[in-house]
Each structure stands twice: as structure tokens, then as C-alpha cells.
């Protein structure tokens, strides 16, 4: 196999193959996240062609976001049973089927089926749980940095590709844009088949930062075991306050990012006279700064108290959302918003994953984080539908943005309620005089 030969070549140069797996995962999450972001630039074209309202389209997007989150814990179980590579290939295939099926849709229920159900399941199998699984399976040292890189790929993919999709949609129509996305997904599938491996032990390697090879645990058998394991883990951890605080703060994270900005920002800007390509360019700027901010967050989470990191991230995000309506929606004002908001887009992920692994253990981290991520996507779905409803009923998005900003401030305070770990790292809290 290509991966075996490449691992041997890199080993002679003292380069761990885990970094290749990170690269393949980064590319996968970048592309699938870009596919998640495409509907955000297609709301207005669908309204014009089919006469559907924003709230009706938003229902399909909300269903997709709910499935994207709720499948997370089960995706972790599927990866444990069938392997990461197989799950990714199935996911990419489902996303392509959903987009290709939507090319001939004429009724709203077909949008619900293709963009809500099929794409929701496909993207749910490659959600942030994939990043947590790869980071915990392949790395002991640099885990926070790796998680930051992979989390950044998700938000960057959602945002950076949007100007290209908007331009293709404007010049050639939304169907050509979807065909372009399917072509990229096919290339991603080839990369995964060639380079992805499930565990270091598959190549006779230890985890990065360790010297002994960790054998793969025995695989569960039967469909019932795959369905029961995530539920039993949820039952176990649901009695802890830490789990519910992480769940609640991640609910706010999704509400203030994917469901709001990713889904409705382009349409919001169009309400104030900005064309789709310009608005998508502002989102791309956010994606670039997110790449910096989230990787930096991974570096910080290896060194500082994750609770205080979350306090600053949610607090600053809330302030930036409260500032957005006062930008006057000029390109200059939105650029300032893009810089500060972009640095914080998914910076919350590395410290949340680190807190999850520290409090609940490495073997359970993927499934537990899957449930926490379900909270993220429930928040995203709430914002996706709620903001669409607000625009349809009140002809403005602004109440939804003010509410999201206020909830971020609440999440910042909640983060400080998480109990200190016995292995806590240095804090960013102010020192007493």
C-alpha cells in the first residue's frame, strides 16, 4: 500500500506518519466543511427560482445541522468498529448523492431529503468527532496543536471556498457550483483511500510522543453494540456537571457560528446591498483568520488552563457579534468584524476537546466529545431556523445576532464553573496583587 511505503520512507527520516494522517484528515474536513457551507450562498438563488421563503429553506438546513451533530457519537462508534477510512469514504459518497439528487429537485420535500437528511448524515460522519478521534489515536504530545489544526480546517473550509462558490453560482448557476463540489469530494475520496490509516499500530508505530506500540482494542460486534455504546457512555457522563457545562457552552458555540454566520451572513449582507461575492469574500477573510486563531488556540491549550481560554473566547466572540450591526455593513466595517470574529470562530474546539479528554479519559473522549458536539449542532440548528424565521416574520436578522452575542457572554461565565482538574495547566486568570 502507498501508506505503508510512505511510512517506511518517513520513518527513515524520523518523521512520524501521524502527520500524514493529519494532512489527509485536514483535507477531508476542509472539503466536507466547504460542502456544508455551500447552501449559505444558495438561499437567495433558491428563493428566486422556486419561490421558497427563507424560513422554509432554513428548515432543511436546520435538519442537516441536527443530524450533523447527533450522528457524532455514533460516528465515533462506527470508526471504532469499521475503521476511519471506510467511514470517511461512505460519508463522502453520501454527500455527493445528496448534492447530485438536488440538481433535479422541484419540490420543498426534495430539498429536505437531499440537503437535510442525506447530506446531514454524510457530513455527520465526518464531523468534529473525526478530528478528535485522529488527535487522540495518533498523538500524545502535540495533541492540542493537532486538534487546533483540524478544527481550523473545518471552519476554513466553510468560509474560504465561499467566494468561489458564489462566483460560480453568479456566472453559471447553482447547479454548476454543486457539480464542482462533487468533483472535489471525489478527489478527496482518492486521497483518503491512499493515505488514511486507522491507528499507528496498523503500521507498527507508537503514538506520537510515546515509545511503546499500543495495540488496537478488540472491536465490538453487531449493530446493537454500535448503537448501545454511545448511549451507555452518555448515561455514564450525564451525571457530571462538567459534561453539561461543556454541552451548554458548545450549544452556544454552534448557535453563534455555523447556524448563524455560516448559514445567514451572505443573505444578511444582501439585505444591506452587498452582492453575494463581496459578502462571501468577508467570510473568506474570517476563514483565514480562523486558521490562525484556531491553530494558536491549540498551542495555547497545551500550555494554559482551558477554562480561562474558553472564558476569553466566548466573551470576545459575544462582543464582536454585538458590534456587527454597528458596522453599517460597509466593506471596511465588516473587515474589522471579520478579523476579530474570525480569530475566534472555532478557537473554542481545542480547549473543549482537551477538557473532555482530561475529565473523561482518552478511550471515551471521542464518544463523549461526540455528544458535546451534538450540543454544538443543536445550537447551530436553533440559529439556522430562528434567524431565518426572524427574517421572514420581521424582515430583519438583527434580533438573532443580538441574542447570539448575549448568549456568548453567558457561555463565557459558564466556562469558569468547570471544576479544576488535578492535572491543570497554568492559568490565564489574573493574578492577585
pLDDT tens-place string over residues 226-249: 677 788 888 899 889 999 999 999
Taking residues 289-309, what's their average pLDDT? 85
- Quick one: pLDDT at residue 180? 92
Q: Decide: 337 and 284 in contact? Cβ < 8 Å.
A: no
Q: What is this structure's pTM?
A: 0.72
- Quick one: pLDDT at residue 322? 92
- Quick one: pLDDT at residue 218? 65
**Band of residue 78 on the pLDDT scale cut at 50, 70, 90:** confident
Q: Which of the 8 DSSP states describes residue 240?
A: S
In three-state secondary structure terms, 180 is: helix
- Quick one: pLDDT at residue 425? 42
- Quick one: pLDDT at residue 424? 42
C-beta atoms surrounding 336 within 10 Å: 14
Q: Cβ neighbours of residue 261 under 8 Å, at least 6 residues apart?
A: 283, 286, 341, 345
pLDDT in tens, 259-290: 888 778 888 888 888 877 788 788 778 877 87
pLDDT in tens, 84-95: 889 999 999 999
pLDDT in tens, 138-153: 888 887 788 778 877 7
Residue 407 host element (H or E): helix 398-415
Least confident of 10-14, 89-93, 126-130: 126-130
- Quick one: pLDDT at residue 93? 95
User: What is the fold, at CATH topology level, of the domain defined by 2-197+233-415?
Assistant: Growth Hormone; Chain: A; (1.20.1250)
Residue 127 host element (H or E): none
Question: Quick check: 300 pLDDT over 90?
Answer: no
For residue 24 the three cell numbers come to 489527509
Q: Cβ neighbours of residue 17 under 8 Å, at least 6 residues apart?
A: 3, 6, 7, 10, 11, 197, 200, 203, 205
What is the SS3 assignment for the chain?
A: CHHHHHHHHHHHCCCCCHHHHHHHHHHHHHHHHHHHHHHHHCHHHHHHHHCCCHHHHHHHHHHHHHHHHHCHHHHHHHHHHHCHHHHHHHHHHHHHHHHHHHCCCCCHHHHHHHHHHHHHHHHHCCCHHHHHHHHHHHECCCHHHHHHHHHHHHHHHHHHCHHHHHHHHHHHCHHHHHHHHHHHHHHHHHHHHHHCCCCHHHHCCCCECCCCCCCCCCCCCCHHHHHHHHHHHHHHHCCCHHHHHHHHHHHHHHHCCHHHHHHHHHHHHHHCCCCHHHHHHHHHHHHHHHHHHHHHHHHHHCCCCHHHHHHHHHHHHHHHHHHHHHHCCCHHHHHHHHHHHHCCCCCCHHHHHHHHHHHHCHHHHHHHHHHHHHHHHHHHHHHHHHHHHHHHHHCCCHHHHHHHHHHHHHHHHHHCCCCCCCCCCCCCCCCCC
Amino acid at each position: 500500500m502507498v501508506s505503508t511505503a510512505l511510512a517506511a520512507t518517513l520513518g527513515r527520516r524520523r518523521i512520524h506518519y501521524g502527520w500524514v494522517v493529519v494532512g489527509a484528515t485536514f483535507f477531508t474536513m476542509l472539503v466536507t466543511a466547504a460542502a456544508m457551507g455551500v447552501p449559505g450562498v444558495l438561499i437567495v438563488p433558491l428563493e428566486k427560482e422556486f419561490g421558497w421563503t427563507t424560513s422554509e429553506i432554513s428548515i432543511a438546513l436546520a435538519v442537516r445541522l441536527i443530524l450533523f451533530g447527533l450522528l457524532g457519537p455514533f460516528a465515533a462508534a462506527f470508526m471504532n468498529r469499521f475503521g476511519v477510512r471506510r467511514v470517511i469514504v461512505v460519508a463522502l459518497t453520501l454527500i455527493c448523492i445528496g448534492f447530485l439528487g438536488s440538481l433535479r429537485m422541484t419540490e420543498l420535500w426534495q430539498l429536505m431529503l437531499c440537503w437535510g437528511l442525506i447530506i446531514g448524515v454524510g457530513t455527520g460522519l465526518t464531523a468534529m468527532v473525526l478530528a478528535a478521534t485522529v488527535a487522540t489515536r495518533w498523538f500524545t504530545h502535540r495533541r492540542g496543536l493537532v486538534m487546533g489544526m483540524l478544527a481550523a480546517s473545518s471552519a476554513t473550509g466553510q468560509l474560504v471556498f465561499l467566494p468561489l462558490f458564489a462566483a460560480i453560482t453568479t456566472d453559471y448557476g447553482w447547479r454548476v457550483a454543486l457539480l464542482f463540489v462533487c468533483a472535489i469530494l471525489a478527489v478527496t475520496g482518492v486521497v483518503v483511500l491512499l493515505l488514511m490509516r486507522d491507528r499507528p499500530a496498523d503500521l507498527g508505530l507508537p503514538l506520537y510522543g510515546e515509545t511503546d506500540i499500543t495495540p488496537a482494542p478488540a472491536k465490538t460486534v453487531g449493530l446493537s453494540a454500535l448503537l448501545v455504546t454511545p448511549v451507555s457512555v452518555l448515561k455514564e457522563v450525564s451525571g457530571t456537571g462538567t459534561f453539561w457545562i461543556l454541552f451548554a457552552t458548545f450549544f452556544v458555540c454552534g448557535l453563534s457560528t455555523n447556524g448563524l454566520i455560516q448559514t445567514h451572513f451572505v443573505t444578511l449582507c444582501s439585505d444591506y446591498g452587498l452582492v453575494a461575492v463581496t459578502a462571501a469574500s468577508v467570510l473568506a477573510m474570517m476563514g483565514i483568520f480562523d486558521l490562525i486563531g484556531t491553530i494558536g488556540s491549540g498551542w495555547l491549550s497545551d500550555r494554559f488552563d482551558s477554562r480561562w481560554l474558553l472564558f476569553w473566547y466566548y466573551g470576545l466572540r459575544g462582543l464582536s457579534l454585538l458590534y456587527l450591526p454597528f458596522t453599517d455593513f460597509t466593506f471596511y466595517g465588516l473587515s474589522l468584524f471579520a478579523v476579530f470574529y474570525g480569530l475566534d470562530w472555532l478557537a473554542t474546539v481545542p480547549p473543549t476537546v482537551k477538557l473532555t479528554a482530561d475529565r473523561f479519559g482518552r478511550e471515551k473522549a471521542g464518544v463523549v466529545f461526540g455528544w458535546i458536539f451534538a450540543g454544538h449542532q443543536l445550537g447551530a440548528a436553533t440559529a439556522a431556523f430562528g434567524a431565518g424565521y426572524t427574517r421572514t416574520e420581521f424582515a430583519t436578522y438583527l434580533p438573532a445576532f443580538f441574542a447570539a452575542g448575549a448568549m456568548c457572554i453567558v457561555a463565557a461565565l459558564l466556562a469558569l464553573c468547570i471544576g479544576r482538574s488535578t492535572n491543570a495547566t497554568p492559568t490565564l486568570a489574573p493574578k492577585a496583587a
